Amino acid sequence: MEFGPKQEILLPVKPGFIALSLFSGFLLNLLPLEGFMRWIYPDFVAMILLYWCIHQPSRIGIGASWVFGILMDVADGTLFGEHALAYSLMAYIALNLRRRVSMLNIDYQFTHVILIILIMQAVIVLTGFLARGIFAGWAYFLGSLTAGILWPMLTYLLKLPQRPKADPDRI
């Protein structure tokens, strides 16, 4: 196993960028999908919350995850608090594992991401089953695999505004 991602000095993240990324993830979650795409489509709000919990734990944590979970419950029309509970648990796990995940190379981070999002999805399925008696099906968990596959691209996109511009005078 390869530890120690390439060390780079990043600029401080702007709170407006964090808000914009979370809002973009919220809009991506609202896309109307049918068929197989509905099952493999990742939860973008969860992925972006997970990223910010790992990389900016002082700004995004359990409280923000709970708020976005309530917003997703309202938007999806699901049991009130279902996503809030799942996102809060996901944030708690991410905050506890953030040092381990950030030490790993991006190629190995996806396994942690898959497991954390799988736990979050299991909470959603379990609360839905206990409240309504409806099982979403095993295909629902394919979204966590897609989230793991998309994790390196999401990490690259969210770090892009933090990377300093190249010095034109440097040879």
Spatial contact of 52 and 18, defined as CB atoms under 8 Å apart: yes
Structure confidence at residue 71 (pLDDT):
96
pLDDT > 60? residue 160: yes
Quote the pLDDT of residue 6: 61
pLDDT band at 106; cut points 50, 70, 90: confident
Q: What percent of the chain has pLDDT over 90?
A: 67
pTM for the full predicted model: 0.90
pLDDT in tens, 1-43: 555 556 677 778 999 999 999 999 999 999 998 888 888 999 9
Mean pLDDT of the 75-86 span: 93
**Which residues are within 8 A (CB) of 83 and not within 5 positions of it... i.e. 6 or more apart?**
68, 69, 70, 72, 73, 76, 124
pLDDT band with cut points at 50, 70 and 90 for residue 143: very high
Judged against a pLDDT cut of 80, whether residue 51 lies above it is answered with yes
Instruction: Write down the pLDDT at residue 93.
Output: 97
Positive or negative CA dihedral for 115, 83, 43, 163?
negative
Name the DSSP class of 104.
B
Spatial contact of 107 and 2, defined as CB atoms under 8 Å apart: yes
